[in-house]
Structure 1
Amino acid sequence: MSTDPLSDQYQPDPRRWKALAVCLVVGFMTLLDVSIVNVALPSIEKALGATSADLSWVVSGYALTFGLVLVPAGRVGDARGRKTTFLVGLTLFVLASASCGFAQGPGMLVISRLVQGVAGGILSPQVSGLIQLLFRGAERGRAFGMFAATIGISTAVGPLLGGVLIQLGGVEHGWRWVFFVNVPIGVVAFVAAMRLIPARPAETKQPLRASSFDPLGVLLLGAGVVAVMLPLVQERQWPGAGKWLLFVVAAVLVVAFVFWERHQGRRGRQQLVDLSLFSLRSYSLGCVIALVYFAGFTTVFFIYTLYVQQGLGYSALMAGLAVTPFALGSAISAKIGGDIVNRVGRRLVIAGLLLVFLGMVGTIIAAYLVPGQYVGYAAAFPLLIAGVGSGLVISPNLTLSLDEVPVSKAGIAGGVLQTGQRIGSAAGIALVGAVFFAQVASTHGDWARAFQLGLATAALLVLVALAVGLADQIAERRTAVTGS
């Protein structure tokens, strides 16, 4: 019997599918901004005089702030209603997008991207929460399937759409339209959301208290991640070895975060991360896989588009086309992975990670053997293989990671998992970007060599995720044999 009063009172809203369309458009827009900006980086560098560190922050800063507010924003939606939180996040996203487009310097652009990431992090849990609110049974499965397809499509079309916008707007100002395009879409979505998304009944709203969101936990975790990223992103700008002491600071902050979360748990207070979840082997290993894998695979778009544009003279449109095979492979295989994951289990994720690793290695070989203008053609097939593997990793890993999680903790468990993915993306871009830009500087512009070393670093991260997956599979087999 359901203990959720909203479930007991459920009456299908006749506007639910139209409301879903609004949610999917907004979800598409926020996820698109993860990848669309990559092809704009060379134009931003020229137009604003941005440094390599600025470019890294433009990409990784969005992922970082997006990830850090996911869990608190989900709780705000729980307490005060999804519609209100959705509209606030959408307004902030539109304003931040406009600020990005009007940026007159790299500092303003980075700050605007950080705010845009916060807005994206506010919106994301409201989309999934609204699907749960508006749909039940088989309809909910269809709705989540459409959301998963939206994620895949946004990844696939992001670099290509960015290339088209820059091509139409010109090298000097085309990058601004990568951000401006969100403004009219966001305004139309806001008006539609006001009309179509139902408000939550007033009696189900909860008091909004700062203690409900574990602000100190957010601060400690955020500061710890930034302390890891700073010396990597600023590696060229900060001379001397003193910057690496920030790793010690990061370790102290992370330890303090763990102790604080345990303290919150013992006193029955809200935690940013429910540490008891990590007693479940499938969940803890799944989170590690997600964090490390996102640290590796998201950097492909970042360094590859820089390589082909800066090193080979590709236009933004051609750069978008060059990375499309990876995105298309991921979009195609994601549905297949979702259909068979319950039959195949963790072996599917392992197979996917292996394909991604082999695809990355194949891309490195292609870039070595065909270092000139035709690298886009040579790398297309290995990138397609890597993309197919990626589609077999992300959604199946999420499904398997949450399999043993109690239903009562499913929301927070999913939020923590997504937070790990975004933090992994931010840290991975910082690490791989540091290797990439350091190699460009030390070889006086050998972009091909820099790309090969950067992608090799990303491939090693994927290999670590593969090792974690194998460890989980071995532990599962031992459990099955011993029966314990």
Structure 2
Amino acid sequence: MTSPARTAAGSSAAGEPEPNRWKALSVCLTAGFMTLLDVSIVNVALPSIAQELDASASALQWIVSGYALTFGLVLVSAGRLGDARGRRTLFIAGVLVFTLASLAAGLAQSAAWLVVARLVQGVGGGIINPQVSGLIQQLFQGAERGRAFGRLGATIGVSTAIGPVLGGGILAVVGPEHGWRWVFLVNLPVGVLAILLSLRYLAPRRDKEPARDLDAVGAVLLGAGVVGVLWPLVSEQWEPVDAALLVAGLVLLAVFVLWERRVDARGGTPMVRLSLFRVPGYAPGALLALAYFSGFTGIFFVLTLYLQDQLGYTPLQAGLAITPFALGSAVTAAIGGRVVSTRGRTVVVTGLVLVIAGLVLTDVLLDAAGGRSVTGWWTAAPLLLAGLGSGLVIAPNQTLALEHVPVDQAGAAGGVLQTGQRLGSAVGIAVVGALYFAGTASGDGTAGVTHGLAATIALLAVALVIGVVDLVRRRHAGRPTGGLAEPHHGR
């Protein structure tokens, strides 16, 4: 008996779930882990890169920030293109670009070569990630979708926190002279395997939208606006040109909104349907993600710098010191994905309270330790608590934000969410980093890290306020705070 034909939604013609959906998810998460890991794993290799390639401070800044810049640049456009032309095709293309760029980075003979490779790597990562969230929307329904997003949340949390550990381990094993190259080359077997398995487990889309329906003008406006906003945030020093770029970026984003309204009013297909922000749960979920990632990313930034620069920890030791956060996040992300279907926004609010409580305790203990070598041991328990909370925030919030989004807009919607996360990360690092360096410049490293953590706590408090307001609004509107609805498949 032949199996029923598969539809674009990833289900059989009879409405049965895609039998390979969990294997497909594993392939997607493997590639997503690889791209998110490269956000932080390179940080511990910067001293070796500077020495071996004679890289300037500006080049090192671009090796880190250029990746984030191009990553954020293509997220929404890639998500929309995946919705229109097939997520499997875009996923494979993104993995191929990322893998080849990783090879180029590992073989770099100059700082300029490495910068270009990192820019291309960022493009590959930006193509891959909206396909992952879009495929989860496509392949899973109801409570299963929450569990799938739970695995995605664990991937995000672990990849962000474990990067310094893996990078430090590679440098310790291979040595600083060539270890930085293997930080990039380790992606090659992962990328090749992901491509081969995606060809087997991801179903191709057959009903593709015509190319003329794609909003090229909207893509250019959005891309230019994102670059204008991100560029000043990832710059090492604030210059007058950065202020001009920021203003220009904000203006272009405003023009983008007006253009999308015009395309929609004329019956066209915009890059992002602005009606998405009227979908229940989407706007507060996007705002909460932006605020949360502003604080979330800053945690690892200031702690890694403090432990290495002020306390003399090796890259591996510094990575191990923040591993409790990653472990806690991995544990509760899976739990959060299961309970969000019944507890809803309450899960996110509870997680935010735990993250803030853990960081407040971390801040107190850092001050009490006074720069002693035992600092990493003292902060292990509160970082574990913060990690347990984080696992209840990222995946459940993404699940709730995308709960009512039509499947044929899932890629673009996920791209908008992740663009907000990248913008939030850039804002957080800029703010937290400025406070940290201001403190260390006065000769008091402990003051620098405690000021930086205070800023992350304030940013996370903003996320908590957004979550509480949405929770109260849901209750006043008579909508349940939990329970995932069945997905919409229309526009």
Shorter chain as denominator, the TM-score bin is 0.7 to 0.9
**Which moved further from structure 2: 254-263 or 380-389?**
254-263
Q: Distance in 2 between matches of 1:319 and 1:462?
A: 23
Q: Does 1:249 align with 2:248?
A: yes
Q: Does 1:344 align with 2:343?
A: yes
Q: Distance in 2 between matches of 1:314 and 1:142?
A: 37
Q: Distance in 1 between matches of 2:253 and 2:453?
A: 28
CA positional deviation for 1:167 = 0.8
**Which moved further from structure 2: 325-334 or 112-121?**
112-121
Q: Distance in 2 between matches of 1:67 and 1:242?
A: 21
Q: Does 1:85 align with 2:90?
A: yes
TM-score by length of 1: 0.84
Q: Distance in 1 between matches of 2:434 and 2:155?
A: 31
Which residue pairs with 2:454 in the alignment? Answer: 456
Map 1:21-170; keep pairs closer than 5 Å: 21-48=26-53, 55=60, 57-129=62-134, 146-155=151-160, 157-170=162-175
CA positional deviation for 1:262 = 2.3
For residue 225 of structure 1, the aligned residue among 223, 229, 240 is: 229
Answer whether contact 1:217 1:272 (CA < 8 A) is retained. Answer: no
Answer whether contact 1:294 1:424 (CA < 8 A) is retained. Answer: yes
Which residue pairs with 1:469 in the alignment? Answer: 467
Q: Deviations over 1:237-260 (max 9, x none)?
A: x4xx67545443343233223223
Q: Distance in 2 between matches of 1:251 and 1:122?
A: 23
Which residue pairs with 2:427 in the alignment? Answer: 427
Query: Which ranges in structure 1 are unaligned for 5 or more consecutive residues?
Result: none
CA positional deviation for 1:291 = 0.6
Answer whether contact 1:228 1:250 (CA < 8 A) is retained. Answer: no
**Which moved further from structure 2: 132-141 or 355-364?**
132-141
Q: Deviations over 1:185-204 (max 9, x none)?
A: 3234434445x246626x52
Query: Which ranges in structure 2 are unaligned for 5 or more consecutive residues?
Result: 1-5, 480-491
Q: Distance in 2 between matches of 1:26 and 1:391?
A: 20
Q: Does 1:290 align with 2:289?
A: yes
Q: Distance in 2 between matches of 1:18 and 1:338?
A: 18
CA positional deviation for 1:139 = 7.8
Q: Distance in 1 between matches of 2:60 and 2:435?
A: 14
Q: Distance in 2 between matches of 1:401 and 1:147?
A: 14
Q: Which amino acid aligns with 1:233?
A: E
Which residue pairs with 2:414 in the alignment? Answer: 414
SS at match of 1:233: coil
Identity fraction in percent: 52
Which residue pairs with 2:403 in the alignment? Answer: 403
Q: Distance in 1 between matches of 2:170 and 2:308?
A: 16
Q: Does 1:308 align with 2:307?
A: yes
SS at match of 2:211: coil
Q: Which amino acid aligns with 1:102?
A: L
Q: Distance in 2 between matches of 1:136 and 1:463?
A: 32
RMSD: 3.4
CA positional deviation for 1:469 = 1.7
Answer whether contact 1:76 1:208 (CA < 8 A) is retained. Answer: no
In structure 2, relative to structure 1, the CA distance for the partners of 1:199 and 1:284 (3 Å cut) is closer
**Which moved further from structure 2: 324-333 or 450-459?**
450-459
Which residue pairs with 1:179 in the alignment? Answer: 184
Which residue pairs with 1:260 in the alignment? Answer: 259
Q: Which amino acid aligns with 1:422?
A: R
Which residue pairs with 2:377 in the alignment? Answer: 377
Q: Distance in 1 between matches of 2:94 and 2:166?
A: 24
Q: Deviations over 1:130-167 (max 9, x none)?
A: 56667789987776665555445434543322221111
**Which moved further from structure 2: 59-68 or 390-399?**
59-68
Q: Which amino acid aligns with 1:208?
A: A
In structure 2, relative to structure 1, the CA distance for the partners of 1:48 and 1:387 (3 Å cut) is farther
Q: Deviations over 1:349-393 (max 9, x none)?
A: 122112222222222222222112111111111211111111111
Answer whether contact 2:9 2:407 (CA < 8 A) is retained. Answer: no
Q: Deviations over 1:245-301 (max 9, x none)?
A: 544334323322322332233233333332222234632111111011111101212
Answer whether contact 1:303 1:436 (CA < 8 A) is retained. Answer: yes
Answer whether contact 2:42 2:64 (CA < 8 A) is retained. Answer: yes
TM-score by length of 2: 0.83
CA positional deviation for 1:87 = 2.8
CA positional deviation for 1:325 = 0.8
Q: Deviations over 1:392-419 (max 9, x none)?
A: 1111111222334455544433332222
Q: Which amino acid aligns with 1:359?
A: G
In structure 2, relative to structure 1, the CA distance for the partners of 1:379 and 1:80 (3 Å cut) is same
Q: Deviations over 1:71-104 (max 9, x none)?
A: 3223333444444333322221112112333345
Answer whether contact 2:41 2:183 (CA < 8 A) is retained. Answer: yes
SS at match of 1:392: coil
Q: Distance in 2 between matches of 1:342 and 1:134?
A: 17
Q: Distance in 2 between matches of 1:286 and 1:100?
A: 35
Q: Which amino acid aligns with 1:472?
A: D
